[in-house]
Structure 1
């Protein structure tokens, strides 16, 4: 029996489990599936993947599983340790069926081959986590596709945020609700940051940012010129739109020797780590979609309010980023005259909904351009479902032959679950 594997298992069995505030994603549902699958839990660093695993451990019983964090400096990055762990589990317990909870397993070279063998030849259930989209089922090696399911853990959505605050939405006075909404769109939804006192929030987000840059981008992709990467992120955080060519030009103007290929590669790394997601132009022309500027959105609003000099106090931009976090598949729309819609929700051949976001509190504040853009896009895209997300205004307004639904941001966040669109 491997001494290291034995020590890791015994440490886990003796370890008291922390108190976990349940999230809306319950891994027990995946644990009890009738069909055996590798469950891949992905998401940005510190979004709650580990605590979601520990919540599952508490529900199935700590002695029926083992949790290993492969970022532990004691653990050699060698594939034989994975086999040592499963062999030691059987020797220590006499059982041949365990739930394996393996955190940041992508640090072990060749883990995919081992995972396939476990899935095909044993009774173990395997849950793996990582801070890279390469662990998503669509991006896994060919030999694991069809054998896995992907669960993405994001920072807290607004319902979870209120739960962590021990607050009931239905009983909140409006001023308090708006104060909490402002806190949420300013400081974001990282669980630790939500729970900690305000004076420590900046220190923690700085630590998250540094760790994300170092471990998930610079070290993982062996980037030697980290200053170019940091400058690229600053440009994105201060941009409403971007193209790889424009970013490359801005970097060169700032004195960085970066080519378009490098810029494109760095952008892919930021998306792979879940830090960046983009809104692409809605167009029937593939060529137009590829050439057009993209809109940058970020995994958590605190990165915007902390590091963006352009948008840190812009509540409209923070609202828009919050809405983007809750949408899984969207475009933006813009015509040649500059009329624009923030979000187009497309389903196969039809447009399901048009969404505009605006920091307004009463109808007199609504910019005429916002409603005109919605009506124009609705005519062109043949869509009747028009939504204007406001700060704290609910109701309906007519524009031409169209009815526009007004819904306040907190109400929209409560009614629309994460990944609902």
Structure 2
């Protein structure tokens, strides 16, 4: 075990990690919560950059003059550590560096849910040792199943795909406000590639396809013991084709030849893997919100385009708008055949990429009273810093 821990923590021997492009928004949030007792959880889609952010945060701690041997990083899906519990790993770490349990240390547990009973081990560490823990996981289901054991002890930070500003940084692009045509050209690239960091840098379609296969097979089929693999793959393709569209679970069930309850259950599995999001119809009636058709959005538009091609960039644009505002709990609005994309407590947003709002839509849009009313029709919605 000791050899593996040294391998995963090169800073113990004065070595540095390979430099990577910092995700400042997430690093700032981690730093803001550094002194709190809460266990921080980085959650999000596979390969969205959680591991990289953890290692970048280790570098920030080192820059703050925190001693290298006060920091432990462990990838808990490592085969070489598979037979050891979290407690055994931490105990070995303290033995290596002669750290008492009273000594404040920083523990990074990557893919923490790979360890059975991780929630009990984290609670024990939290209650008995002077530790700050930062954990990651791509599996929201396991976290939700076991979060109750850690009630009052955790804080979640969802790691999203790259924003447009981060996309430009990854592309090493500096664009002045006047460079409108160039900005729009890069935004069109962003609409196509999405924001999975490695894919943005390489555009390696096989890498993106492997991400999808891992979610389907490891996070859904294996996790939930699903025997009909074909249905899950077909449902994934159907949901990709319906991004930004009103979708009926009944219709999906008819196409797939399975029950509506099965469709609902499988969609929830995709949601808990951060691959898809479901938006309800706006209504004051809870019953209507629950029973009305849904709108589907995907965790990254590059994944959608991998399946559907680039034929519907309008849907990709609407999806990007959703990802930007999803923490505001949006609904979609539909009345008398007229649909407005997003409505919330204090906002109304219609997404129209390279298209104008027709007169009927404009009348409905203007007639809804909200403090913030936005027609998102291009790059400006995502490039407000320029």
Give TM-score scaled by structure 1 length.
Answer: 0.82
Give the drift of 1:65: 1.4
Q: Distance in 2 between matches of 1:122 and 1:326?
A: 38
- Does 1 or 2 have the higher relative contact order (CA < 8 Å, sep 6+)? 2
Counterpart mapping for 1:7-406 below 5 A: 7-14=3-10, 16-23=16-23, 24-26=25-27, 28-30=30-32, 32-33=34-35, 35-61=36-62, 62-76=68-82, 81-96=85-100, 97-134=104-141, 140-171=146-177, 173-196=179-202, 200-239=203-242, 240-252=245-257, 258-308=258-308, 312-327=310-325, 328=327, 329-335=329-335, 337-346=336-345, 352-360=346-354, 365-376=356-367, 378=368, 382-391=369-378
Asked whether the 8 Å contact 1:40–1:135 carries over to 2, the reply is no
Asked whether the 8 Å contact 2:347–2:370 carries over to 1, the reply is yes
Give the drift of 1:235: 1.4
What SS does the aligned partner of 2:204 have?
A: helix
Asked whether the 8 Å contact 1:44–1:274 carries over to 2, the reply is yes
Asked whether the 8 Å contact 1:129–1:135 carries over to 2, the reply is no
Describe the superposition over 1:92-125 as per-residue Cα deviations: whole angstroms up to 9, x where unpaired. 1112332111111111111111100111110121
Describe the superposition over 1:306-363 as per-residue Cα deviations: whole angstroms up to 9, x where unpaired. 2126xx311211110110111121000011x2011100022xxxxx1110011236xx
Q: 1:235 to 1:131 in 2, by over 3 A?
A: same
Q: Distance in 1 between matches of 2:206 and 2:269?
A: 25
What SS does the aligned partner of 2:375 have?
A: strand
More helix by share: 2
Give the drift of 1:300: 0.5
Q: Distance in 1 between matches of 2:209 and 2:57?
A: 30
Give the drift of 1:17: 0.7
Describe the superposition over 1:61-81 as per-residue Cα deviations: whole angstroms up to 9, x where unpaired. 3432122212222332x5x52
Describe the superposition over 1:3-36 as per-residue Cα deviations: whole angstroms up to 9, x where unpaired. x2x2222212336412121112115414522x31
Q: Distance in 2 between matches of 1:85 and 1:313?
A: 50
Q: 1:63 to 1:171 in 2, by over 3 A?
A: farther
Asked whether the 8 Å contact 1:276–1:296 carries over to 2, the reply is yes
Q: Distance in 2 between matches of 1:140 and 1:112?
A: 6
Q: 1:314 to 1:248 in 2, by over 3 A?
A: same
What SS does the aligned partner of 1:71 have?
A: coil
Q: Which moved more, 1:295-304 or 1:213-222?
A: 213-222
What SS does the aligned partner of 2:247 have?
A: coil
User: Unaligned stretches of 5+ in structure 2?
Assistant: 63-67
What SS does the aligned partner of 1:304 have?
A: helix
Q: Distance in 2 between matches of 1:30 and 1:212?
A: 31
